[in-house]
A and B are shown apart, each in its own frame.
Chain A
């Protein structure tokens, strides 16, 4: 084997194979190794103790047959193995590797391959290549082999490798790509051998399990050069041509290497197939020599074998490169941390390096271990970019589900190196490069990108020790100069926010992104950058830092921004503090009220908020916006907050009587003192308006108008005045208080208490009793006073109600002499006929008072009635006497 820089190193697995053993195939899983031999033997090795394998059984495939065992396929989910030998296949039991009793032995089989596995139903489908057809069989643990499909179009296939329905097959002397679902879609490819008479064994490998096969095409003999060709499903040769010295006996691909076992040699040659298109020895990476001039054989198994021999110097080199070191030069890398890290990486390395490639040399079986792939790139040249990408895309270490923690570690190392080289060698750092960083954010620390652009970080940044220097040097290049403009840092963060799901990032990284994004916006948008602040652009984790900044720095619209953040973070107390900071201005008080309504429950749950603070807020709101609707809402909140009306009222001083009134009006007066307070307030306001405005004059004019109207049928004075007031805007406020007083008076049970209050005020100003008439409608005064008032204002109907024999003549005289209204006289006499006819004095006075100039004919009807009444009265008297 080559020296220290060898790509593959061997380590022993079994050191004492039987002398006569000629291995043809090997499979392995867990601690079992199954060996098939050239002369039809099946041998089972078992790892009875760690790294100690013993042969526990050795049987013949067929007692009468010495043909080579061609293939062992493990079907682990059903604990079976398929063994192919001499055109027959037999099922074996696993793990004991015993022939399955009473089951299938199929013959005339050219090749058998595993087609599909159904993990859920624990079943497998296999393909059998036969001369007359291709068959698909189903295997389950609980039942026998069952033929599910026979493809008669596909005959004479000697070997095949499937990628689902697409198969690379060898047929006669050439390769073909066939499609199980479409027999007409067969793609004939090149010949296995250039010459017809040369019978070379076809070689087909599954390169990547997805869309590429590797096949070999040879010359005229085994000794001639051959080509290892990588072919896709369309039959195109991809990744160039790999020229091999001879036609191989067996190949194994372990990207970027191709391990080749030639006929009649004692060597295994290893080529680097990532060096495309080379046809000389340059891509020959390593030659493994036999230790005893015997045959060397290589095998690939299902199992991975862990290295039992570690080169300590190499290990130290690898571990030191892969250990994490702080990027911040000011942070000293403590010995304890370094040692812990080294131990951890060393453990990952020792447990993580394994191989599925076995080497049979003489009487030993070795594991053939590839050097950690990341060590292949030990330069920072531009060519490293494509080199690493090739490894990342194709190396088995980084694909599939069986990768170890060490594989993941070296993958991350390579990814970071790839990303650093992209930044180092690009002419311009554009969106595509940043998106590439984002693509790998799940595997590398995106903070390194921020570090390179000198952003402020919220985490202690670590990097692979092997890449630390490169990272620091790259930062010193001032990458911002490679960007389109100075705002590119902000663009970077925008891209990062777009492309990386925040759930996948650590909290500190999210903070770094958000805070730098926030500061980037400030830089980009200037002093008003908070005007359209959208809290949704930031993660919860970052908001505390943004709050901190907003609370300490000066910025326009910062209170709006804070309110949005507090709202998102469910911090009602802090929001309220900001709202209060606006000093309860009338224009903002509504905001506080709305806020209290929305966050009432939350606030009362917070330790800073209680009944007293709520009361204070409500008082301030009411004081600053003493409007009915606002008071109504405040009272609703006070009720929810268990604040009594007295508590609320007590907060308003003497010069805030109007607010008290509004509160009492909203709630209604339950207590006498509140009712008296309200009444007093209303009557005072009424009187104030009455005296301080022209209302008094207007009312005087209204009463004069009424008085001058001598129509007996006219409405009552109070009604008249009310109509007049309602139609005069000057009385709007007056009427408001007037109606409120009437409302108070309407509460019968309280009248005795409030009427004196009203009257005290009325006494002061209501000389003509107009206000009393408006309020009481003659209701409270004594009859004499009411009569006088009604007569004074010519309220005829009221006068009529109050007229009696004592005051009839007063009224009559007024109607006759002052008002000179025959109509009124007639109405009065008609209404008081009995009084007139029964009282001779009154009758005489009536006739006496009738003006001389009045033509009696105008009183004919009423006088006739009087006379008639008198006559009838006398006649009645006579009759009574006679009786």
Chain B
């Protein structure tokens, strides 16, 4: 029997233009687009990865970073098991915003949520370190204080992008494949035979009304 697929609802949060959609695009399609249109509302993408012989399906909600859409974010992080809080290492304001998102997630999201703090656009400082406006140590310190996974990434070069997701995947409790006989829950690609799983076959003599 193959191991079941575990789905993870993951939400990306962060200031506008920090590269959230680019990170997702890199992870899902291993692609990069230089002048990407701003996200409207939220984009939904999925990606499966194998981690230690387990398949994890990331259901990714890439939220719009523009302030106008800020009110939508709670809708997406409320039931999320993981969150990527992204900032641009060349924009200190985006790090401040990231701090706010981390705080909000701790206060409003599920208490088990796994949060990764991601400093994006490290490719910019490859040739000119002076472009960096948020020190790596600052990110690391915030991550340590708040119990976050921390990576500096480049969606453009794909640096650390997969690692962020893989690290999250490793921390997510896997779905138990020893489900109870009464449990009709199934995983992706499985199709359930309801008649076989029903525990209360009735000859229509009564109903649980």
Contacts and interface: CB of A to CB of B under 8 A. Distances in A.
A105 B188 contact: yes
Contacts of B157: none
B114 to A, nearest CB: 13
B185 A103 contact: yes
A148 B44 contact: no
A130 B198 CA distance: 13
B207 A101 contact: no
B194 interface: yes
Contacts of A149: 200, 202, 206-208
A144 B192 CA distance: 14
Given A101-B81, A103-B185, A181 B206 contact: yes
Interface string B183-209: 111111011101101111111111111
A170 to B, nearest CB: 18
A138 interface: yes
Contacts of B59: 98-99, 101
Interface in B90-146: none
B207 A165 contact: yes
Contacts of B197: 147
B51 interface: no
A183 B194 contact: no
Given A54-B41, A153-B203, A98 B9 contact: yes
B200 A147 contact: yes
A803 to B, nearest CB: 118
Interface stretch (A56-64, A187-195, A438-446, A651-659): A56-64
Nearest to A125: B208
Given A96-B61, A96-B76, A106-B194, A146 B207 contact: no
A57 B194 contact: no
Contacts of A153: 203-204
Nearest to A102: B7
A63 B187 CA distance: 15
Interface string A124-154: 0100101011011110000011111111111
User: Which of A63, A98, A102, A180 has the most chain B CB atoms closer than 10 A to its own CB?
Assistant: A102
Interface in A174-206: 180-183
Main secondary structure of the interface of B (DSSP, over half): loop
A462 B101 CA distance: 58
A116 B209 contact: yes
A105 B208 contact: no
Contacts of A125: 208-209
Interface string B42-71: 111010000000000001010010001101
Interface in A447-497: none
B78 interface: yes
B208 A147 contact: no
B182 A55 contact: no
Contact of A101 (B7, B203, B204): B7
Nearest to A116: B209
B202 A152 contact: yes
Nearest to B63: A56
B207 A180 contact: yes
Interface in A27-66: 44, 46, 48, 54-59, 63
Nearest to B192: A106
A102 B44 contact: no
A302 interface: no
Interface in B154-195: 175, 182-188, 190-192, 194-195
A48 B68 contact: yes
A107 interface: yes
A93 interface: yes
Contact of B72 (A46, A108, A135): A46
Contacts of A98: 9, 44, 59, 61, 76, 79
Nearest to A45: B41
A203 to B, nearest CB: 25
A145 B192 CA distance: 12
B6 interface: yes
A48 B72 CA distance: 9
B75 interface: yes
Contacts of B79: 93, 96, 98, 100
A845 interface: no
B61 A180 contact: no
Contacts of A132: 195
A108 B197 CA distance: 14
A144 B208 contact: no
Contacts of A105: 186, 188, 190-192
B130 to A, nearest CB: 38
A817 interface: no
Contacts of A55: 40-41
A104 interface: yes
Given A56-B69, A150-B198, A181-B206, A63 B185 contact: no
Contact of B204 (A58, A130, A182): A182
A164 B43 contact: no
B204 A154 contact: yes
Given A98-B59, A105-B188, A136-B207, A146 B182 contact: yes
Contacts of A99: 7, 59
Contact of A152 (B41, B68, B201): B201
A151 B40 contact: no
A586 interface: no
Interface string B18-44: 000000000000000000000011111
B112 to A, nearest CB: 13
A144 B44 CA distance: 24
Interface string A50-85: 000011111100010000000000000000000000
B154 to A, nearest CB: 27
A747 to B, nearest CB: 91
A769 interface: no
Contact of A104 (B69, B71, B81, B186): B186
The 4 closest A-B pairs by CB, nearest first: A56-B41, A101-B7, A183-B204, A59-B44
Interface of B: 6-9, 40-44, 46, 59, 61, 64, 68-69, 71-72, 75-76, 78-79, 81, 175, 182-188, 190-192, 194-195, 197-209
Given A56-B40, A93-B9, 20 more contacts: A48-B68, A56-B41, A56-B42, A56-B64, A95-B75, A96-B79, A98-B76, A98-B79, A101-B7, A102-B185, A103-B185, A132-B195, A136-B207, A137-B184, A146-B184, A149-B208, A165-B209, A180-B204, A183-B203, A183-B204
7 contacts: A56-B40, A57-B61, A63-B46, A102-B185, A128-B194, A135-B198, A151-B207
